[in-house]
Chains A and B, each alone.
Chain A
Amino acid sequence: MALVTATRRLVHVTLRESSRRAAVISAASLPTQSRATCLQRGFTTSTQPLRSDNKVTVHFINRDGEKITVKGSPGDSLLDVVIDQDLDFDGFGACEGTLACSTCHLIFEEEVYKQLGPVTDEEMDMLDLAYGLTDTSRLGCQICLTKSLEGMVARVPESVSDIRQSGDGSS
């Protein structure tokens, strides 16, 4: 595990240098360890031209049922998008995309889920600990955006506390 992490860190540092060379530095576009995951899977962002149409629209349904529409770049993970777009999901992404928690748990529709690619044992092991696990659940830090996922909907599931809050009448 330590070697994988070290590799991710190394990859992310390389990616960061590429960002610098691209000369578009905003705090929001700095890569995270989850971006490194997408890089390992062959989605590079360093050679993408900086055109505004090179974006993927993602709809998030938050825990209040509100739909929030944002855009991400191919190669971003869904965790990257949540962070870059300042989406305020309580406690999302606690381990910063290193497959050491299940707080970036997202639920998808069947058709989208099928397009998301294979789940590694490593991801499945952490996903198994997520509250409200479904057959179309994934960890957001492991989902890499591609153009074919344009318009995808990702639902942020309730956490344990939400369930108890709604039903509890005690003061």
Chain B
Amino acid sequence: MNAHKIVCKSHLLKLLWTSGRSDRIKRLHGVCGRAPFSSCSPKVCIVGAGPAGFYTAQHLIKSRQDVEVDIYERLPVPFGLVRFGVAPDHPEVKNVINTFTQTAQHSRCSFYGNVNVGTDVSVKELQQAYHAVVLSYGAEGNRRMGVPGEDLAGVHAAKDFVGWYNGLPDNRKLHPDLSCETAVILGQGNVALDVARILLSPMDMLKKTDITQPALDLLAESRIRRVLIVGRRGPMQIACTIKEVREMVNLPDTRPEMVAADFKGIAEAVKEVPRPRKRLTELLLKTALDVPTEKEQEKRSKASRVWGFRFFRSPVEVLPAPDLSRAAAIRLAVNRLEGSGEGASAVPTGEVEDVPCGLVISSIGYKSLPIDPLLPFDSRKAIVPNTMGRVQKTAGVYCSGWLKTGPTGVIGTTMNNSFDTARALLEDMDSGALDVSSAKPGSQGVTPLLEKRGVKPVEFSDWEKIDNEEIKRGVAMGKPREKLLSVDEMLHVART
């Protein structure tokens, strides 16, 4: 682990901090002098220390030698969904943390954890202290199904379930009940597949990951043996990607169970589509319909757990147990497809179907929330209205990541999205649309306010103490890390 870190550090240091030849040629001279650390150096504040925040910071710092960037984060720990969203059994996806660490350790970047923008400091106060503010705080809320019974015990949003097994402090008291036989997941994106995979993975696979110990303990007692992943439309509209489907197909001690009728006409339709959709659909077809090889047949006959996609079904009600205390079944409307391809829509047929289950996970999308009433917010799309990352009607405020485009896309998508916003910001500095000619105090204008309000920020070196403690605890458990689960505990370690 250490060798890996050292290797990456030197590589990425080179990768990041070489000024791009093309950028240099394109850059106009700014109004402000170029001397670093002059009182005139442009100061940018970023709200949110997830991938969007870090990629925006990275691009800004790399592109101009005088820009100083401060990243504010609500939690004491950085990295957002890379830490709390990416599945524990996908550690390679978390390699981007090395890049983010490089950025945070740069002399022109500072991390301020444990600061809640909106309650500890207002966006207006940030605008006064900085030349520009970039909102990158992602999507903390959930899209609700909007059906009766949604608030029964046994029903959870995927975001909360994922937060629970990934150690998000707000979700540590979730205590999902895993004593039922069947779990139904609504939604067929990668998050839904992550949930299914964590529910069905053998313990000896999970226990070597950074999944939290309480989650591991609960999953070890789980009686869930069947997971259905339900979508409104058909196999050719499924939102997940092929890697995740392949992981389900290859998951030890499990067998797939699909409905052949769901695949009517698919083998024909798949011939005309682009390669990514084609390969994914062919894998689904093969899994659902093909006669298995002898080896696969043996695996299936021995499997103790079952998973399957169910198509053309929308939730209409979560039905309670006789004592009304918890979910006991989900009522699904049967749909038919109108149109074809990515734009096809689900139309109810009038038929319904009840599926007995004890755990319902709704994985139909995260949702951004407004943090300041003075900022524009599009409640319909749940994003901050913007053009190329420039927040509408609000000079000097930008946005990047899911807050800008909506809560879909992998880390790579967010990276491009954030680079975009950084470019827009840099353009505005160069053109004078963003006035950087007068000095701004930056964090010196904010930390006194925080102090007055009894808020003590966590610095990046404090996070490193938390990081080391988690790794140390992980060694004892045979895991890459054992995450601290509460803000109090994090602050305690940070302050020691």
Contact = CB atoms under 8 A, between A and B. Distances in A.
Interface stretch (A50-58, A70-78, A85-93, A110-118): A85-93
A89 to B, nearest CB: 9
B423 A165 contact: yes
Nearest to A126: B243
Interface in B347-390: 387-388
Contacts of B20: 88, 90
Interface stretch (B65-73, B89-97, B220-228, B449-457): B89-97
Contacts of B415: 91, 94, 103
Given A159-B416, A161-B419, A164-B388, A125 B242 contact: yes
A109 interface: no
Secondary structure dominating the interface of B: helix
Interface string B224-236: 0000000000000
Given A5-B91, A98-B95, A161-B420, A31 B7 contact: yes
B412 A101 contact: yes
Nearest to A9: B4
Given A101-B410, A124-B279, A64 B95 contact: no
Interface residues of B, number: 51
A16 interface: yes
Contacts of A1: 89-90, 92, 247
How extensive is the interface on chain A, given as a class? 35 or more
A171 B433 contact: yes
A94 B419 contact: no
B11 interface: yes
A94 to B, nearest CB: 5
Contacts of B10: 27-28, 30
Nearest to B274: A133
B429 to A, nearest CB: 13
B96 A95 contact: yes
Contact of B241 (A64, A103, A125): A125
B245 to A, nearest CB: 9
A95 to B, nearest CB: 5
A88 B24 CA distance: 12
Interface in B1-46: 1, 3-4, 6-8, 10-11, 14-15, 18-22
Interface of A: 1-2, 5, 9, 12-13, 16, 27-28, 30-33, 62-64, 66, 82-83, 86, 88, 90-96, 98-103, 121-122, 124-126, 128-129, 131, 133, 159-161, 164-165, 168, 170-171
25 contacts: A2-B91, A2-B208, A12-B3, A30-B11, A32-B8, A33-B4, A62-B22, A86-B18, A90-B20, A94-B411, A95-B92, A95-B95, A98-B95, A100-B90, A101-B411, A103-B415, A125-B246, A128-B241, A128-B242, A128-B275, A129-B241, A133-B276, A161-B423, A170-B388, A171-B433
Interface of B: 1, 3-4, 6-8, 10-11, 14-15, 18-22, 55, 59, 89-93, 95-96, 98-99, 205, 208-209, 241-243, 246-247, 275-276, 279-280, 387-388, 410-413, 415-417, 419-420, 423, 433
